[in-house]
Amino acid sequence: MKLRYGINPQQEAAYAAPVTPGRWPVRLLHGEPSFINMLDALNGWQLVREAGQALGQPAAASFKHVSPAGAAVSGAIDEVTAELYGVAGHEVGALASAYLRARDADPKSSYGDFAAVSHPVDDELAELLVGMVCDGIVAPGYAPGTVERLSKKKNGRFLIMEADDGFVSPREEAREVFGLRLAQQQDEVELSASLLRVADGVLPETAVADLLLGLAVLRYTQSNSVCYLRGGMTLGIGAGQQSRVDCTRLAGAKVDTWWLRRHPLVRALSFRPGIRRQDRINWQIRFIEGDLTPEETGRLSEALSAPAGELTADERAQWIHRLDRMAFASDGALPFRDNVDHAHRHGVEYIAEPGGSIRSDEVEEACREHGITLARTGLRLFHH
Protein backbone atom coordinates (compact mmCIF):
# COMPACT_ATOMS: atom_id res chain seq x y z
CA MET A 1 0.00 0.00 0.00
CA LYS A 2 1.52 3.31 -1.05
CA LEU A 3 1.28 5.87 1.74
CA ARG A 4 0.68 9.57 1.20
CA TYR A 5 4.07 10.29 2.78
CA GLY A 6 6.22 9.14 5.68
CA ILE A 7 6.32 10.66 9.16
CA ASN A 8 7.00 14.05 7.52
CA PRO A 9 5.76 15.28 4.11
CA GLN A 10 9.31 15.52 2.76
CA GLN A 11 9.63 11.74 3.23
CA GLU A 12 7.72 11.11 0.03
CA ALA A 13 8.56 7.44 -0.52
CA ALA A 14 6.51 5.49 2.00
CA TYR A 15 4.53 2.28 1.88
CA ALA A 16 2.98 -0.45 4.04
CA ALA A 17 3.18 -4.18 3.34
CA PRO A 18 1.95 -7.19 5.32
CA VAL A 19 4.56 -9.30 7.11
CA THR A 20 2.71 -12.41 5.97
CA PRO A 21 1.93 -12.01 2.25
CA GLY A 22 -1.76 -11.49 1.71
CA ARG A 23 -2.61 -11.12 5.43
CA TRP A 24 -3.55 -7.53 6.19
CA PRO A 25 -4.59 -6.60 9.76
CA VAL A 26 -6.52 -3.64 8.35
CA ARG A 27 -8.10 -2.89 5.00
CA LEU A 28 -8.30 0.58 3.49
CA LEU A 29 -11.88 1.41 2.48
CA HIS A 30 -11.44 5.09 1.67
CA GLY A 31 -8.75 7.76 1.63
CA GLU A 32 -4.98 7.89 1.40
CA PRO A 33 -3.24 7.33 4.76
CA SER A 34 0.11 8.67 5.85
CA PHE A 35 2.70 6.79 7.90
CA ILE A 36 1.35 8.30 11.16
CA ASN A 37 -2.24 7.54 10.16
CA MET A 38 -1.28 3.88 9.87
CA LEU A 39 0.43 3.89 13.26
CA ASP A 40 -2.62 5.53 14.86
CA ALA A 41 -4.95 3.01 13.23
CA LEU A 42 -2.89 -0.03 14.24
CA ASN A 43 -2.29 1.12 17.82
CA GLY A 44 -5.84 2.37 18.23
CA TRP A 45 -7.39 -0.85 16.98
CA GLN A 46 -5.28 -3.02 19.27
CA LEU A 47 -6.18 -0.83 22.27
CA VAL A 48 -9.94 -0.92 21.75
CA ARG A 49 -9.93 -4.62 20.88
CA GLU A 50 -8.08 -5.49 24.11
CA ALA A 51 -10.18 -3.13 26.22
CA GLY A 52 -13.40 -4.45 24.73
CA GLN A 53 -12.39 -8.05 25.32
CA ALA A 54 -11.15 -7.42 28.88
CA LEU A 55 -14.26 -5.51 29.94
CA GLY A 56 -16.95 -7.03 27.74
CA GLN A 57 -18.16 -3.62 26.55
CA PRO A 58 -17.80 -1.50 23.42
CA ALA A 59 -14.59 0.53 23.66
CA ALA A 60 -13.30 3.58 21.84
CA ALA A 61 -10.13 5.61 21.66
CA SER A 62 -9.19 9.03 20.31
CA PHE A 63 -5.61 8.92 18.99
CA LYS A 64 -3.20 11.77 18.33
CA HIS A 65 0.46 11.33 17.40
CA VAL A 66 0.49 7.60 18.12
CA SER A 67 -0.86 7.89 21.68
CA PRO A 68 -4.44 8.08 22.90
CA ALA A 69 -5.76 11.49 23.97
CA GLY A 70 -8.59 9.56 25.60
CA ALA A 71 -10.16 6.12 25.81
CA ALA A 72 -13.38 4.80 27.28
CA VAL A 73 -15.93 2.03 27.32
CA SER A 74 -19.64 2.63 26.85
CA GLY A 75 -21.42 4.40 29.67
CA ALA A 76 -23.47 7.36 30.81
CA ILE A 77 -23.04 10.70 29.04
CA ASP A 78 -23.06 13.54 31.55
CA GLU A 79 -24.71 16.92 30.95
CA VAL A 80 -21.46 18.70 30.04
CA THR A 81 -20.55 16.18 27.33
CA ALA A 82 -24.13 16.03 26.04
CA GLU A 83 -24.35 19.81 25.78
CA LEU A 84 -20.95 20.11 24.09
CA TYR A 85 -21.81 17.62 21.35
CA GLY A 86 -25.50 18.47 21.05
CA VAL A 87 -26.91 15.09 22.03
CA ALA A 88 -29.53 13.82 24.47
CA GLY A 89 -27.28 11.97 26.88
CA HIS A 90 -29.81 9.34 27.92
CA GLU A 91 -30.52 8.44 24.28
CA VAL A 92 -26.94 7.87 23.11
CA GLY A 93 -26.17 4.28 22.10
CA ALA A 94 -23.34 2.17 23.49
CA LEU A 95 -20.74 2.66 20.74
CA ALA A 96 -21.37 6.39 20.31
CA SER A 97 -21.20 6.88 24.08
CA ALA A 98 -17.82 5.15 24.22
CA TYR A 99 -16.39 7.48 21.59
CA LEU A 100 -17.92 10.64 23.07
CA ARG A 101 -16.53 9.74 26.49
CA ALA A 102 -13.10 8.99 24.99
CA ARG A 103 -13.03 12.28 23.10
CA ASP A 104 -14.28 14.33 26.05
CA ALA A 105 -11.35 13.22 28.23
CA ASP A 106 -9.10 15.77 26.51
CA PRO A 107 -11.14 17.53 23.82
CA LYS A 108 -8.39 20.06 23.16
CA SER A 109 -5.96 17.30 22.16
CA SER A 110 -8.62 15.28 20.32
CA TYR A 111 -9.06 17.98 17.70
CA GLY A 112 -8.23 16.26 14.39
CA ASP A 113 -7.93 12.82 16.00
CA PHE A 114 -7.96 9.31 14.58
CA ALA A 115 -10.86 7.35 16.07
CA ALA A 116 -10.82 3.65 16.91
CA VAL A 117 -13.81 1.60 18.02
CA SER A 118 -14.12 -2.05 19.01
CA HIS A 119 -17.46 -2.71 17.28
CA PRO A 120 -18.84 -2.01 13.78
CA VAL A 121 -19.69 1.62 13.13
CA ASP A 122 -23.44 2.22 13.28
CA ASP A 123 -25.54 5.07 11.85
CA GLU A 124 -25.45 7.00 15.13
CA LEU A 125 -21.67 7.10 15.41
CA ALA A 126 -21.31 7.93 11.71
CA GLU A 127 -23.67 10.88 12.16
CA LEU A 128 -21.63 12.16 15.11
CA LEU A 129 -18.35 11.83 13.24
CA VAL A 130 -19.67 13.84 10.31
CA GLY A 131 -19.96 16.87 12.59
CA MET A 132 -16.54 16.54 14.26
CA VAL A 133 -13.01 17.52 13.29
CA CYS A 134 -11.68 13.97 13.00
CA ASP A 135 -9.24 12.65 10.39
CA GLY A 136 -10.22 8.99 10.20
CA ILE A 137 -11.52 5.88 11.88
CA VAL A 138 -10.67 2.21 12.23
CA ALA A 139 -13.36 -0.32 13.12
CA PRO A 140 -14.08 -4.03 12.57
CA GLY A 141 -16.99 -3.25 10.27
CA TYR A 142 -19.47 -0.65 9.03
CA ALA A 143 -23.25 -0.58 8.85
CA PRO A 144 -24.69 -0.24 5.33
CA GLY A 145 -24.37 3.31 4.05
CA THR A 146 -21.97 4.55 6.73
CA VAL A 147 -18.83 4.24 4.60
CA GLU A 148 -20.43 6.26 1.82
CA ARG A 149 -21.57 8.89 4.32
CA LEU A 150 -18.19 9.19 6.02
CA SER A 151 -16.25 9.20 2.75
CA LYS A 152 -17.63 12.69 2.01
CA LYS A 153 -15.98 14.18 5.11
CA LYS A 154 -12.99 16.50 4.70
CA ASN A 155 -13.82 16.97 1.01
CA GLY A 156 -13.41 13.24 0.49
CA ARG A 157 -10.13 12.92 2.40
CA PHE A 158 -11.54 11.22 5.51
CA LEU A 159 -9.77 7.91 6.16
CA ILE A 160 -11.85 4.78 6.66
CA MET A 161 -10.14 1.55 7.64
CA GLU A 162 -11.62 -1.84 8.45
CA ALA A 163 -9.81 -4.02 10.98
CA ASP A 164 -9.72 -7.80 10.70
CA ASP A 165 -11.13 -8.86 14.07
CA GLY A 166 -9.70 -12.35 13.64
CA PHE A 167 -6.18 -11.27 12.71
CA VAL A 168 -3.44 -12.78 14.89
CA SER A 169 -0.15 -10.92 14.93
CA PRO A 170 3.04 -12.88 14.17
CA ARG A 171 4.89 -13.96 17.32
CA GLU A 172 7.87 -11.78 16.40
CA GLU A 173 7.79 -8.08 15.62
CA ALA A 174 10.65 -6.08 14.14
CA ARG A 175 11.60 -2.60 13.02
CA GLU A 176 14.56 -1.15 11.16
CA VAL A 177 16.36 1.88 12.59
CA PHE A 178 19.47 3.46 11.10
CA GLY A 179 20.40 0.35 9.20
CA LEU A 180 19.79 -2.01 12.10
CA ARG A 181 16.93 -4.50 12.37
CA LEU A 182 15.56 -4.88 15.90
CA ALA A 183 13.32 -7.86 16.65
CA GLN A 184 11.46 -9.06 19.73
CA GLN A 185 8.74 -11.47 20.79
CA GLN A 186 5.24 -10.04 20.85
CA ASP A 187 3.86 -9.21 24.29
CA GLU A 188 1.13 -11.85 24.57
CA VAL A 189 0.12 -11.49 28.24
CA GLU A 190 -3.66 -11.31 28.48
CA LEU A 191 -5.11 -8.45 30.51
CA SER A 192 -7.38 -9.79 33.24
CA ALA A 193 -8.37 -9.11 36.84
CA SER A 194 -5.93 -11.81 37.99
CA LEU A 195 -3.07 -9.37 37.31
CA LEU A 196 -4.28 -7.00 40.04
CA ARG A 197 -2.71 -8.46 43.17
CA VAL A 198 -3.62 -6.51 46.32
CA ALA A 199 -1.76 -6.97 49.61
CA ASP A 200 -4.01 -4.75 51.77
CA GLY A 201 -7.60 -3.79 51.10
CA VAL A 202 -10.10 -4.76 48.43
CA LEU A 203 -10.65 -3.47 44.90
CA PRO A 204 -14.33 -2.89 44.11
CA GLU A 205 -15.53 -4.10 40.71
CA THR A 206 -15.63 -0.55 39.36
CA ALA A 207 -11.97 -0.04 40.28
CA VAL A 208 -10.99 -3.37 38.71
CA ALA A 209 -12.69 -2.32 35.48
CA ASP A 210 -11.04 1.10 35.48
CA LEU A 211 -7.59 -0.34 36.16
CA LEU A 212 -7.97 -2.94 33.40
CA LEU A 213 -8.93 -0.17 30.99
CA GLY A 214 -5.87 1.71 32.20
CA LEU A 215 -3.58 -1.23 31.47
CA ALA A 216 -4.98 -1.53 27.95
CA VAL A 217 -4.44 2.20 27.40
CA LEU A 218 -0.85 2.11 28.69
CA ARG A 219 0.02 -0.84 26.47
CA TYR A 220 -0.43 1.41 23.43
CA THR A 221 0.73 4.76 24.84
CA GLN A 222 4.22 6.17 24.35
CA SER A 223 6.29 5.54 27.51
CA ASN A 224 6.78 6.73 30.15
CA SER A 225 3.04 6.81 30.64
CA VAL A 226 0.38 6.92 33.34
CA CYS A 227 -3.35 7.43 33.25
CA TYR A 228 -6.11 8.48 35.61
CA LEU A 229 -9.50 6.81 35.21
CA ARG A 230 -13.01 7.02 36.59
CA GLY A 231 -16.26 5.40 35.58
CA GLY A 232 -14.89 3.56 32.55
CA MET A 233 -13.06 6.47 30.95
CA THR A 234 -9.64 8.07 31.08
CA LEU A 235 -9.65 11.58 32.51
CA GLY A 236 -5.95 12.25 32.10
CA ILE A 237 -3.14 10.54 30.18
CA GLY A 238 0.50 11.52 30.59
CA ALA A 239 2.75 10.12 27.89
CA GLY A 240 6.26 10.25 26.51
CA GLN A 241 7.96 12.03 29.40
CA GLN A 242 11.46 11.11 30.52
CA SER A 243 10.41 11.44 34.17
CA ARG A 244 7.47 9.41 35.41
CA VAL A 245 6.43 12.02 37.95
CA ASP A 246 6.21 14.55 35.11
CA CYS A 247 3.73 12.16 33.44
CA THR A 248 1.82 11.98 36.71
CA ARG A 249 1.67 15.77 37.08
CA LEU A 250 0.80 16.36 33.41
CA ALA A 251 -2.00 13.80 33.48
CA GLY A 252 -3.20 15.14 36.84
CA ALA A 253 -3.49 18.65 35.38
CA LYS A 254 -5.68 17.20 32.61
CA VAL A 255 -7.86 15.52 35.24
CA ASP A 256 -8.32 18.86 37.01
CA THR A 257 -9.23 20.53 33.72
CA TRP A 258 -11.81 17.83 32.92
CA TRP A 259 -13.36 18.20 36.37
CA LEU A 260 -13.28 22.02 36.36
CA ARG A 261 -15.11 22.03 33.03
CA ARG A 262 -18.01 20.79 35.17
CA HIS A 263 -17.76 23.77 37.58
CA PRO A 264 -20.86 26.03 37.54
CA LEU A 265 -18.79 29.13 36.65
CA VAL A 266 -17.28 27.39 33.63
CA ARG A 267 -20.62 26.00 32.54
CA ALA A 268 -22.08 29.52 32.85
CA LEU A 269 -19.73 30.91 30.19
CA SER A 270 -22.16 32.21 27.57
CA PHE A 271 -20.68 32.23 24.09
CA ARG A 272 -22.00 34.31 21.25
CA PRO A 273 -23.81 32.51 18.41
CA GLY A 274 -21.38 31.30 15.77
CA ILE A 275 -18.51 30.53 18.15
CA ARG A 276 -17.39 27.08 17.07
CA ARG A 277 -17.30 24.08 19.39
CA GLN A 278 -13.51 23.81 19.44
CA ASP A 279 -13.14 27.52 20.13
CA ARG A 280 -15.56 27.17 23.05
CA ILE A 281 -13.53 24.23 24.37
CA ASN A 282 -10.26 26.13 24.04
CA TRP A 283 -11.67 29.21 25.77
CA GLN A 284 -13.10 27.13 28.61
CA ILE A 285 -9.69 25.58 29.19
CA ARG A 286 -7.88 28.92 29.08
CA PHE A 287 -10.44 30.32 31.55
CA ILE A 288 -9.77 27.34 33.83
CA GLU A 289 -6.00 27.76 33.53
CA GLY A 290 -6.46 31.34 34.65
CA ASP A 291 -3.28 32.90 33.25
CA LEU A 292 -4.81 34.78 30.32
CA THR A 293 -2.81 37.61 28.83
CA PRO A 294 -4.52 41.01 28.46
CA GLU A 295 -4.92 40.31 24.75
CA GLU A 296 -6.54 36.93 25.46
CA THR A 297 -8.84 38.49 28.05
CA GLY A 298 -10.06 40.92 25.42
CA ARG A 299 -10.67 38.21 22.85
CA LEU A 300 -12.52 36.05 25.39
CA SER A 301 -14.77 39.01 26.22
CA GLU A 302 -15.53 39.40 22.52
CA ALA A 303 -16.46 35.71 22.29
CA LEU A 304 -18.88 35.94 25.24
CA SER A 305 -22.37 37.41 25.27
CA ALA A 306 -22.10 38.14 29.02
CA PRO A 307 -19.10 38.84 31.30
CA ALA A 308 -17.39 35.81 32.77
CA GLY A 309 -17.39 35.22 36.51
CA GLU A 310 -14.20 34.85 38.52
CA LEU A 311 -12.93 31.36 39.35
CA THR A 312 -10.87 32.02 42.46
CA ALA A 313 -8.07 29.82 43.74
CA ASP A 314 -10.20 28.83 46.74
CA GLU A 315 -13.13 27.85 44.51
CA ARG A 316 -10.82 25.82 42.29
CA ALA A 317 -9.33 24.01 45.26
CA GLN A 318 -12.73 23.30 46.83
CA TRP A 319 -14.10 21.93 43.57
CA ILE A 320 -11.06 19.73 42.87
CA HIS A 321 -11.25 18.36 46.42
CA ARG A 322 -14.68 16.94 45.58
CA LEU A 323 -13.32 14.55 42.94
CA ASP A 324 -13.12 11.00 44.27
CA ARG A 325 -13.12 7.33 43.26
CA MET A 326 -10.25 7.91 40.85
CA ALA A 327 -8.02 5.06 39.66
CA PHE A 328 -4.43 5.45 38.51
CA ALA A 329 -2.30 3.09 36.40
CA SER A 330 1.38 3.23 35.50
CA ASP A 331 3.15 1.39 32.67
CA GLY A 332 6.30 1.00 34.79
CA ALA A 333 7.22 0.74 38.45
CA LEU A 334 6.68 3.89 40.49
CA PRO A 335 10.27 4.81 41.41
CA PHE A 336 9.43 7.27 44.21
CA ARG A 337 6.50 8.05 46.48
CA ASP A 338 6.07 11.49 44.85
CA ASN A 339 3.90 9.85 42.17
CA VAL A 340 1.54 8.62 44.89
CA ASP A 341 1.50 12.01 46.62
CA HIS A 342 0.59 13.77 43.37
CA ALA A 343 -2.02 11.15 42.45
CA HIS A 344 -3.67 11.59 45.85
CA ARG A 345 -4.22 15.29 45.11
CA HIS A 346 -6.45 14.30 42.21
CA GLY A 347 -8.79 12.01 44.14
CA VAL A 348 -6.99 8.73 43.44
CA GLU A 349 -8.15 5.85 45.64
CA TYR A 350 -6.74 2.92 43.62
CA ILE A 351 -3.35 2.41 41.98
CA ALA A 352 -2.03 -0.34 39.69
CA GLU A 353 1.70 -0.52 38.92
CA PRO A 354 4.19 -3.32 38.24
CA GLY A 355 6.15 -2.97 41.47
CA GLY A 356 9.73 -4.12 41.85
CA SER A 357 11.51 -0.79 42.21
CA ILE A 358 14.14 -0.37 44.93
CA ARG A 359 11.75 2.04 46.67
CA SER A 360 8.60 -0.04 46.33
CA ASP A 361 8.28 -0.20 50.12
CA GLU A 362 8.14 3.61 50.25
CA VAL A 363 5.51 3.63 47.51
CA GLU A 364 3.45 1.10 49.47
CA GLU A 365 3.77 3.14 52.66
CA ALA A 366 2.66 6.29 50.84
CA CYS A 367 -0.44 4.46 49.62
CA ARG A 368 -1.23 3.42 53.20
CA GLU A 369 -0.80 7.01 54.42
CA HIS A 370 -3.26 8.30 51.80
CA GLY A 371 -5.74 5.42 52.12
CA ILE A 372 -5.03 4.23 48.58
CA THR A 373 -5.49 0.57 47.64
CA LEU A 374 -2.37 -0.58 45.79
CA ALA A 375 -2.38 -3.40 43.23
CA ARG A 376 0.89 -4.80 41.97
CA THR A 377 0.69 -6.35 38.48
CA GLY A 378 4.26 -7.55 37.94
CA LEU A 379 3.72 -6.52 34.31
CA ARG A 380 5.62 -3.68 32.65
CA LEU A 381 3.87 -2.18 29.64
CA PHE A 382 6.44 0.06 27.97
CA HIS A 383 5.60 1.10 24.43
CA HIS A 384 8.04 2.87 22.08
Residues noted as catalytic:
64-65, 224, 384
- C-alpha–C-alpha distance, residues 99 and 38, integer Å: 19
Q: How buried is 151 (Cβ within 10 angstroms: 0-12 exposed, 13-18 middle, 19+ buried)? A: middle
**67 beta partners:** 64
231 CB-near residues (< 8 Å, 6+ apart): 75, 76, 206, 210, 325
Q: In what order do the strands lie in the sheet with 59-64?
A: 26-30, 159-163, 134-139, 113-117, 59-64, 67-73, 233-239, 225-230, 326-330, 348-353, 373-376, 197-198
Measured in residues, the chain has a length of 384
- C-alpha–C-alpha distance, residues 196 and 194, integer Å: 5
- C-alpha–C-alpha distance, residues 24 and 163, integer Å: 9
The three-point CA angle 68-278-232 to 5° equals 40
- C-alpha–C-alpha distance, residues 186 and 19, integer Å: 14
* Residue 191: strand, helix, or coil: coil
The answer to whether the beta carbons of residues 332 and 219 sit under 8 Å apart is no
Helix boundaries (H) for the chain: 35-55, 79-85, 94-104, 123-130, 146-150, 205-219, 244-260, 264-267, 277-289, 294-303, 313-321, 338-344, 360-370
